[in-house]
Structure 1
Amino acid sequence: MRMAARFLSLLRLCVATSLAFTALAVHADEPYQLKVVTDRADAIYRTEATAKFIVTVTKGGETVSAGEVLYIIDDFLAAADSESDFPKGTIEVDDKNGISATSSQPGFLRCRVTFQTPDKKVLRATAAAGFSPNKISPSLPVPDDFDQFWKQQKAELAKVALEPKLKTIEQSNEKILCFDVRVNCLGGAPVSGYLAKPKEAKAKSLPAILWVHGAGVRSSSLANAMTGAQAGMLSMDINAHGIANGMPPQYYKDQIAGPLKNYRHAGRESRETIYFRGMYLRLVRAIDFLTSLPEWDGQVIAVIGHSQGGGQALVAGGIDDRVTFIAAGVPAICDHSGRAAGRINGWPKLVPVGDDGLPDGQILQASRYVDAVNFASRCRANAIVSVGFVDAVCPPSSCYAAFNQLHGKKRMVTEPLMGHAAPQHIRDIFFAEFQKHVRDEKGQN
């Protein structure tokens, strides 16, 4: 009996020791995690107020208490400027006081932190704080002849017959009709997109939605067009360049390498030749086409897009008063003249800066006629906009510069820790907001 008891005790000890070593091994394999957040959940402060960036380092869910974190504060523009006045330095990982920053001007400050693990792996994290962002103003005023210029462009477009060409697209939903559409336009390319609508739709029964694309070169999206149609809408998705839809991948690669290479900077020396002029006229022409269809209800026109598409949505709302609703996710094409005001400009960084730190004067002047901020100042449609506070592609200051100019009912969806992204939950919010707009317009609430 004694031998059996001793054996059982020894077995228990071995099992316990084995489990302990296993737990240590698992913990040792757990990765380090570095995180930085603001002391306010919304990351929004008044000017002159102090924002605190709180840094944590964990391993296996446990807080790391030894080590240093390198930090640098910047305004998205002066990150590499060793002579800037923004705070930078190191703090201990267990410093509970955080990193303090403030701004006397409306705008955003970014905090980037770095931690090196014992095995020399470098971790990085970023957070940002907004200071009175609803007071961010345009970097330059709207040109005096802005409205006259675009009135003339639309008048020239109106002389061009639509002559739409529709080709039926086969798909599995028998309740939906789909078409590949091309419509004549100015600007060197037609409107090219997919149209979808409920098969049994009656005349003057459907609100219309136009889906527009982010940067890049690709086919129109049949899935987007069908999403709107399945929700009882006249729904059209257009690609940004008026190119053919549904082609093999090599076709789009050839476009990127050929005629559309670096399109975002093409013709930027003049408002007459700048590439975005044609893109914006295609928005107007797509709306011309949608409103010509007998099923359109005569009331609702919405434009939805993200990034470059978000910028296009802002433009559509300002260039065409038939638009009643826009949804602009992390909008690009905003605040081209930001550098003239000493702040970061939005994608596509249209205006180059010389060695003297000053923006190119000729391109700066042309850019003002295609700046979505200026179109936003003419927009009276209802609007919903999203912004990522750590977005370095379409910086939050450029998004707010446009948002603050909108005249209609508007809502900003803020994501303090989001970069340049269009996550599904924001897409869902946008579409739900549009559906509410439709109900409101039809008096169904």
Structure 2
Amino acid sequence: MPPRTLRKLLLTCLHLALFLSLSAFAVAADKYELKVVTDRPDALYKTGETAKFLISVLKNGEPDSGYSVEYFVDDFISGAADFPKGRLTLGKKPILSLPVTSDKPGFLRCVVKVGAPVNQTKIAGAGFSPQEIQLSQPVPADFDQFWADQKQQLAQIPMEAKLTPVKQKDAEVEAFDVQVDCAGGAPVSGYFGKPKDAKAKSLPAILWVHGAGVRSSSLANAVKGASNGMLSMDINAHGLPNGKPNQFYKDLADGKLKGYRQEGRESRETVYFRGMFLRLVRAIDFLTSQPEWDGKTVIVIGHSQGGGQALAAGGLDDRVTFIATGVPAICDHSGRAAGRINGWPKLVETGADGKPDPTQLEAAAYVDAVNFATRAKADAIMSVGFIDAVCPPSSCYAAYNQLKGNKQIINKPLMGHAAPADIQKAFFDAVLEHVEEQAKK
């Protein structure tokens, strides 16, 4: 064999050997998983009981030892004292048991970090008698009168609606882009769908409301409700035109609406959520004015900011018969006044002394979804994530505990701020069940 051919053959063999070696290494690479859970699957305890956070590292699916674990426990308030924190090494027992307790209703979370080769951070939450979480401060004495006045102002504005037909794929549904005149600085803007050829007084109504951000209304939601035999309307949170290019909404989010969450928070008359909540009432006005409405069923459904809106709608408008509120925001603005974390959007600033701004605190009470929950008589379903730092579980339970109708809550001990598919399905199943029950009345 010529020397040049031999060299080529040797190089080919070396490359093949290197490839096989690297492939074998890739197959054999260790897989790590940091796990943090509680010693009870539901992560629920009574005040004074001891909960245990169980910390372990799995290597290729099996508990392993020798890892340095950094951890801290708090009540969702950064820098909270009197809770465990430190660094430990997983020893012969590869599961670290970290006992904690709380003498007041609320939630604790355990945040754990492990460095190389694991390089993961995980969080678990535990609830202590959350059904006993109460209002962080009393509902203002003139709360009802204030909102009665706001609705009276709304009633002075004729409900002029502009409907523009829009195309969609369901041949059994009619769909429209809708704008309805409203108080509060912007119209109701949404998509509206209804089954074709529906009889008068035959259909329940559902209103879909949005989480935080700036976007168009959802035609898909409007069609989904209509496909399931409802008058169905999805409205965006800001009364914006629908179906515009993404850049249109991005420009607003980066510009005029960038700080909407805290806009006008020094006064109940100017706080941004006042207008958002009036649009809820006007949207319900529109739905219940349709000749096909059954005269008895109104459902409001949303997650995060939409969950807060659903609670507000239930407290503002006694036509609402069912509230589906996922990880609700706009709750417990005054939480810090009671020594617990306040919910999104942290409407009330906390000073260096740890106390809430008194002017903002007073105004925020009139747009707190917890206070609307005290007035809501509708049936309800709520989801809550025990490690949700955006809408902390204590703020969600503060609202849930005030609801007066038949209610259920979906607890997710390892869920943060999310609306996963299983919760969305559970919510819509509950909506359909409510529709069925209403039809029997």
- TM normalised by structure 2 equals 0.93
Alignment deviations for residues 176-225 of structure 1 (CA, whole Å, 9 cap, x no partner): 10000000001100000000000111111100000000000000000000
CA distance in 2, matches of 1:254, 1:67: 47
- Answer yes or no: is 1:170 the counterpart of 2:167: yes
The question of 1:311 aligning with 2:303 is answered: no
- What letter corresponds to residue 112 of structure 2 in structure 1? V
CA contact 2:302–2:325 (8 Å) conserved in 1: yes
Within 5 Å, which residues of 2 pair with 1:205-224?
205-224=202-221
CA distance in 1, matches of 2:63, 2:22: 20
Q: What is the aligned-residue identity percentage?
A: 62
Q: TM-score, normalised by structure 1?
A: 0.92
Report the CA distance between 1:442 and its aligned residue. 1.2
Shift of 1:92: 3.2
Contact 2:56 2:95 survives alignment (8 Å) = no
| Whole-angstrom CA distance in 1 between matches of 2:110 and 2:138 | 30
How far off is 1:91 after superposition? 3.2
Shift of 1:29: 1.6
How far has the Cα of 1:68 moved from its partner? 2.3
2:55 is aligned with 1:58: no
Counting only pairs closer than 5 Å after superposition, residues 276-315 of structure 1 correspond to structure 2 as 276-315=273-312
| Runs of 4+ with deviation above 3 angstroms | 21-28, 94-97
- Give the 3-state SS of the residue equivalent to 1:193 in structure 2: strand
Alpha-carbon offset, residue 97 of structure 1: 5.4
Contact 2:56 2:63 in 1 (8 A): yes
Pairing 1:362–2:359 present: yes
Give the letter for the 1:45 counterpart.
Answer: Y
Distance in 2 (CA, whole Å) between partners of 1:362 and 1:75 is 26
Q: Which residue of 1 aligns with 2:430?
A: 433
Q: 1-side partners of 2:101 and 2:114: how far apart?
A: 24
Residue matched to 2:11: none
How far the C-alpha of 1:80 sits from its partner, in A, is: 3.0
Equivalent residues in 2 for 1:203-352 (5 A)? Answer: 203-352=200-349
CA distance in 2, matches of 1:34, 1:358: 37
Contact 1:32 1:117 in 2 (8 A): no
Aligned counterparts of 2:385 and 2:27: Cα–Cα separation in 1: 34
* 1:107 corresponds to: 106
Aligned-pair Cα RMSD in Å: 1.7
- Aligned partner of 1:31 in structure 2 is 31
Equivalent residue, structure 2, for 1:7 = none
**Greater CA drift, 435-444 or 243-252:** 435-444
In structure 1, list runs of 5 or more residues that go unmatched: 1-20
Looking at structure 2, the residues matched to 73 and 387 of structure 1 have their Cα atoms a distance apart, in angstroms, of: 19
SS of residue in 2 equivalent to 1:98: strand
One-letter amino acid of the counterpart of residue 291, structure 1: T
What's 2:41 paired with? Answer: 41
- Give the whole-Å Cα distance in 1 for the aligned partners of 2:337 and 2:31: 44
Secondary structure of the 1:294 match is: coil
Of the candidates 138, 148, 151, which is equivalent to residue 148 of structure 2?
151
SS in 2 for 1:392: coil
- Report the Cα offset of residue 257 of structure 1: 2.1
Gaps of 5+ in 2: 1-20
1:141 maps to 2:138: yes
Deviation at 1:319, TM superposition (A): 0.4
Q: State the match for 1:424 in structure 2.
A: 421
Tell me the distance in 2 between the aligned counterparts of 1:30 and 1:68: 18
Tell me the distance in 2 between the aligned counterparts of 1:92 and 1:250: 50
Cα distance in 2 between the residues matched to 1:186 and 1:157: 5
User: Which letter maps to 2:98?
Assistant: I
| Cα distance in 2, alignment partners of residues 322 and 431 from structure 1 | 19
Q: Specify the alignment match of 2:75 in structure 1.
A: 75
Show the counterpart of 1:8: none
* Contact kept? 2:209, 2:237, Cα under 8 Å: yes
Name the SS of the counterpart of 2:324 in structure 1. Answer: strand
400 and 292 in structure 1: CA distance in 2 versus 1, 3 angstrom threshold: same
Give the Cα separation in 2 of the matches to 1:129 and 1:28.
Answer: 37
Q: Secondary structure at the match of 1:304?
A: strand
Do the aligned partners of 2:299 and 2:323 also contact (CA within 8 Å) in 1?
A: yes
